[in-house]
Amino acid sequence: MEKTNKPKVAFVCVHNSCRSQIAEALGKHLASDVFDSYSAGTELKDHINPDAVRLMKKVYGIDMEATQKNKLIEEIPSPDVVITMGCNVNCPVLPCKLREDWGLDDPSGKEDAFFEQTIMTIEEKILDLKRRLEAW
């Protein structure tokens, strides 16, 4: 049963081009019945990482370029939950009820196996977050 007034989860990374975009896509794909997923950054690249786009199509059949775009934090709704990806920078303070850092290394420029491992780790963390937020 789909929840009403679902918590809003913001996945935040500096450039909003790779890890945060993957998390937004997997949040929508795996947990949209429990929470709404958004991704954003403090600076933007002009595109989503092409390797992330390619591998998300390959693994899940999700076309991130068709459904998502790079966004600044100011462009998303006020979040209930803020997840930082592990960018090793000071993220802006966003008021929220829960904040955590997933500490993920940036797979940009690395081989597909590292990328796919990062995607699998994000999937596990999304499913864990879904379980925890079901009680909200």
- Which band of pLDDT confidence, cut at 50, 70 and 90, is reported for residue 4? low
The domain spans of the chain are 8-131
Closest CA to 83 of 30, 133, 33: 133
Say what the pTM is: 0.94
Two structure tokens written together for 13: 């990374």
Architecture in CATH for domain 8-131: 3-Layer(aba) Sandwich (3.40)
Write the pLDDT tens digit of every residue in 55-102: 999 999 999 999 999 999 999 999 999 999 987 666 667 889 999 999
